[in-house]
Structures are given as C-alpha cells and as structure tokens.
Structure 1
Amino acid sequence: MFDAPAPTTADRMLAAQQHAADQFGLRAAGRRVWGYRGRTLSSAAGPHWLRLVCAEAGTEGDKLWSGPFTSRTLPASVPRPDLFRIRDWTTGAYAYRAELYALAPDPMVSPRPVLDEDPGLPETWWKEMAAALDALADVPPPPDREAVREEYLRRVIPEFTGHQVEGIVWSTAHGDLHYGNVTRGPHILDWEGWGRAPYGYDAATLYLYALLVPEAAARIRTELAAVLDRLEARTGLLTVCAQILQARDRVDFYAELAGPVREHLAQL
C-alpha cells in the first residue's frame, strides 16, 4: 500500500513480525504490505493474514489500536475477514499488537487507494457493497469512536473547498474505504479507523477515489446514487474533498486527485 519505511524502521518491524509469527506457530510469507511510515506491516501467514501494528510504548490503546477488535461487534452483513487471535507485547520503546485474520479469498480491487483503471466490477459486487454500507449506516454511531471529528470538518471544508457546512447527519462508517481496502469478494479490510462520520462518507470516498478514471467514476456515481444523491450526503462528499486537497502536498495520490476534485467541487 505504501512504500517501505526507513531501513531502521523496516528492520524493527520485520523482527517484530517474525516474533508474532513464531507466537502463532506460523511463517509470514508473500508480499509485504506496509502502512503509512511503517506503522503497520501485513502479509499472508499460512492460511491466515497476519497484521502487525506498532506505537510508541505508553501511547497504545487509542482508537486506531482498538478499531479492529471493536469492529467485531458490527453486523455480520458487513463482509470482513474474521479476526481470530490477538497478541500484545512491548519491546524497548515500542508496543506491538499482532492480529491473526482469516485470509480473504479474493484479491484487492486495486494495489493503490485510488483507481488507475476501470476494475470492471460486476453489478453483483455493487449490490453487495451498497447493502454493506446500508447495514453499517444502520448501526448507531458509537459515542467513543469518531472516524471524522466535527471540529475538523467544520474547519477544513470552508478552508479547502470554499463551501460551508450546513446540517450534519451522522452515521457509522468504515472511515478509510478506498480500493486497497476492499476485495473483489467483496470483503472490507482494515477496520482500525471505523466510527462516526457524516452520512455518505464511505460512498463519497469510493466515488472520489475513482475520479482519475472517468468511466469508473460515472459507474460508481450511478451504482451508489441511493446514497450520494441524498442531501444528507453533501457534508460527507465535502469532507472527503477537503481531506484530499489538504493532503495533496504530502501524499502523491492526493496530488493526482486534486485537479479532478476541484472540477467536481465546481459542479457541486
């Protein structure tokens, strides 16, 4: 997903991954999937998927740390790999958590968060994804988990989009529903950031992250129209636009999306 981190970070995470695999009696193999700045490292481990997350010792236990475990309370109608086991430990200045999942039987839709080509997803995929988003939105927003903070969106939407925040309808969202976090199953991966977000936030992410491929974006706009056409989804769309434009100078794929997002805002 992201490039490998600095060698010292990579070596430390690889050693921790080996320790986790030994604890579970497995061997990590195959392609390594790095998180942002090496904060996470994942790969296949036998018939399972092994995900390792780290934090500075004493700072573990926040929303991102607990997200995958707490997501087990979400409805079974939201398709995601089962989380079987968790192991925590601390070594020196870092705390680690190893999570052992069922291995998703199907590949990711894209190796990057954004689409570079039309993935050719069938109509059944979109129906299942729409049903999953509806089931997730029906979950009462948890009071202790925020995927997007209200103070944040009220600040960045006017600053980066020129639009004003009107009413906000809150719902429960995955919070990072890009094309590297969904499979062709579909299964939805990486639940560390789930929680309360403005209605339509996940659907807006899928739509806006497809803008580099206009034909794919048009298809998504049609398939998720039941969400995106609702007035309540406007704040969710503006939030994702603002996040892309805010981070365009430090994240390559956001820089690529900036132009199409500005065109979208001009038509909104």
Structure 2
Amino acid sequence: MTPTDGRATDLRIAPIGDVLDRVERSLHVHLDRNTLVRKRRSIGARTNRDSWVRIERRPVEKILGQGWNGTECASALGGIAKPEWQESVSWRDPVEATMWRADETGLLPGPPIGSSVLATDPQLPEAWWQSLTTSLDALAGQDTTRVATPDTEVITQTLVTTTVQTAFPTRADTTIRRWSPAHADLNWANITAPHFCLFDWEDWGMAPRGLDSASLLGASLAVPTLADRVRSERRDDLESRDGKVMTLFVFAKFAGADAHPDDPRVEPARREAARIVSELQSA
C-alpha cells in the first residue's frame, strides 16, 4: 500500500483487497464485502459465521507501551453491554512503519446510532439510557493498568493542561484528582440502538473522571434536547471538578481558536466553557 510514511493512508479510499484476503486466511473466515464499513483508520465487515471483524491500521509509534489489544483486554470487563470478543490476528506491514490488527467479535444487537456527532435527536428509549448509565458506572469501578488513548494519544496530565489552556486560558488549577477506566472514544458512532451496546474498545484505559461523559456531551451539543439529557444522566461526572476539566478538554478539540465556522457545536461549547472556567477559577 502507498504512501510509505506509515501515517497518510486513508482506509476509506486506499486499496484493501490484500488486507482482507490476509485476514480471511488468518482467521479462517469469509468476509462479506457487501457489508464493508470503511473509516479513516479501520475497516469492518460481517463474516460467514455470524460475527464481525474489525481491522485497524496504526503507525508503530502509536502502539508503543501498552500495545493496542484494547478489544481483547476489554473482554475481561464485567457489567458492560459490549460485543463478545472471540479472537484476533496482528502483523507488521513489510513496507510501511505500521501495524495491522483484526479482532473478531459477536455481532452488534442493532445498528450504530449515527455518525460520531448527531444533528437530530435519536429519541432513545428509557431502557437505553439506563443501560448507558449502568455500563459506564460499571466500567469506572474496575481496575486496569492500561492508559486511555483518546484520538490515539496517551492521555496525561500535561496533555490535559496544555489542551485546556490553549483553547480556554484560565488561572484555575486543572490538576486531575481522580482517574478511572474509560472507553475513551465514546460517541454516537460507537453505540447501538434501540438496545445499548458500546463497541470499538481499542483506546480504553485509565483516564480522568468524566472523559466519557464529556465526550458524549460534546457529540450532542448540536441537539439541545439530547445534550440536556446527557447532562441529566451523567450529572455526577459532569458536575464534579474533574468532569468540568474534562468537558473543557473535550470542547477544546472542536471549539478552540481553529474551530470550523459551520460547526453548530462551537457556540454552545464556548458558552458552556466560559461558565466552567468561571466556576473553576472561583472554586
């Protein structure tokens, strides 16, 4: 595959036939090409044995440390609505400085709710919201040595402080006081409905309290009623001191100085960020 810099390939448009063939041989499975879902750095397809295979490509420097077996490691987590992991295969690209990994899991109980950011209210049933809260609370109560990698970047105190201060300068102390396990890529493209199920676990690990709740809030701001429901359901996280810092961290990624002028989330995010900064400074 080209180019050979290990980072520039977009799997939505790159040739992937050889990758699919290799995965089929390694897992002894047939991938239904008619069900292919292609994203920038991952591919997914249904198999002939009623399972799903997700294939991901990452630069080598992005998998140092804890590795990138998140989906496999997440199989040990209890009390969370997620697909059952079955097996995997990984290999290093012989030309590029990249690694490939394919994970086979059970099928999802329903379709993803939408793209990562929603523009309309999905009108989710009460049972869905209950399952969301149960799953996120169960996740936060478990133990792991993994460290979360939102956007494939290891989350650290320095990253949090730098990101927040760059977008929303404040004199407030942004030191995180509580860390707990988080999915670290919680958005509307990684959740199913009408039955709640959280998938794509490659980035999960320890993170500041409130990261997941803030991420879902940030993905909901274009729909005020949806954002209000997220605030209500995840109030304990979002109203905690660490949760407020995480809200600034998440909002900084799309509402900072380089914000896209047509993004409907920008203005509500900036208003909420101003309130949070004021609260943190007066605390």
Match of 2:113 in 1: 109
Instruction: State how far apart, in whole Å, the 1-side matches of 2:262 and 2:218 are.
Output: 10
Alignment RMSD (CA, Å): 2.7
Q: Which is richer in helix? A: 1
- The one-character-per-residue Cα deviations of 1:53-105 (angstroms, maximum 9, x if unpaired) are 22457975654622212222222x11110111112234522542221111112
* Alpha-carbon distance in structure 2 between the residues aligned to 1:44 and 1:97: 16
Q: In structure 1, give the amino acid aligned to 2:269.
A: V
Could you report, residue by residue, the CA deviation over 1:121-179 in whole angstroms, capped at 9, with x for unpaired residues? Answer: 11111111111111111113x34423322110011111102233434121110001000
Q: One-letter code of the match for 2:117?
A: V
- The structure-2 alpha-carbon separation of the partners of 1:55 and 1:5, relative to structure 1 and needing over 3 Å to count, comes to closer
Taking structure 2 as the reference length, what is the TM-score of the superposition? Answer: 0.80
Counterparts in 2 of 1:244 and 1:99: CA distance versus 1, 3 Å: same
> Which contiguous aligned blocks of 4+ residues in structure 1 show a shift greater than 4 angstroms?
56-64, 246-249, 252-256
2:124 to 121, 139, 142: 121
Mean CA deviation greater in 95-104 or 117-126: 95-104
Structure 1 range deviating more: 204-213 or 21-30: 21-30
1:258 is matched with: 266
- Whether 1:26 and 2:34 are equivalent positions in the alignment is no
Q: Aligned runs of 1:105-254 on 2, under 5 Å?
A: 105-110=109-114, 112-140=115-143, 142-147=144-149, 148-163=155-170, 164-168=172-176, 169-184=178-193, 185-245=195-255
The residue type equivalent to 2:192 in the other structure is T
Residue 60 and residue 217 in structure 1: after superposition, are their counterparts in 2 closer, same or farther (change >3 A)? Answer: closer
The reply on whether 1:99 has 2:135 as its aligned counterpart is: no
* Alpha-carbon distance in structure 1 between the residues aligned to 2:187 and 2:134: 17
Matched with 1:50 is 53
Q: Structure 1: which amino acid aligns with 2:198? A: I
- Residue 97 of structure 1 aligns to a residue in which SS? strand
**Secondary structure of the corresponding residue to residue 74 of structure 1:** coil
Partner of 2:275: 267
Percent identity (aligned): 25
| C-alpha deviation, 1:51, in angstroms | 0.9
Q: Distance in 2 between matches of 1:157 and 1:60?
A: 25
| Residues 17/6 of structure 1: CA separation in 2 closer, same or farther (3 Å cut) | closer
SS, match of residue 73 in structure 1: coil
Structure 1 residue 33 displacement after superposition: 2.4
Query: Aligned letter for 2:104?
Result: L
Q: Please list, as runs of the form range in 1=range in 2, the aligned pairs for 1:1-16 lying within 5 A after superposition.
A: 5=10, 10-11=14-15, 13-16=16-19
Distance 1:106 1:86 in 2: 23
Q: Is the 8 A contact 1:204 1:236 kept in 2?
A: yes
Distance across 1 between alignment mates of 2:93 and 2:265: 39
Relative to structure 1, the CA distance from residue 17 to residue 244 in structure 2 (aligned partners, 3 Å threshold; closer, same or farther) is same
Q: Report the Cα distance in structure 1 between the residues aligned to 2:203 and 2:29, rounded to whole angstroms.
A: 29
Cα pair distance change 1:144/1:124, threshold 3 Å: closer
Q: Distance in 2 between matches of 1:129 and 1:82?
A: 17
What is the CA–CA distance in structure 2 between the aligned matches of 1:248 and 1:190, rounded to whole Å? 28
Query: Matches of 2:261 and 2:73 in 1, distance apart?
Result: 30
Checking the alignment, whether the CA contact within 8 Å between 2:192 and 2:198 is kept in structure 1 is yes
Unaligned runs of 5+ in 2: 1-8, 150-154, 277-283
Structure 1 74/26 Cα, relative in aligned 2: closer, same or farther at 3 Å? same
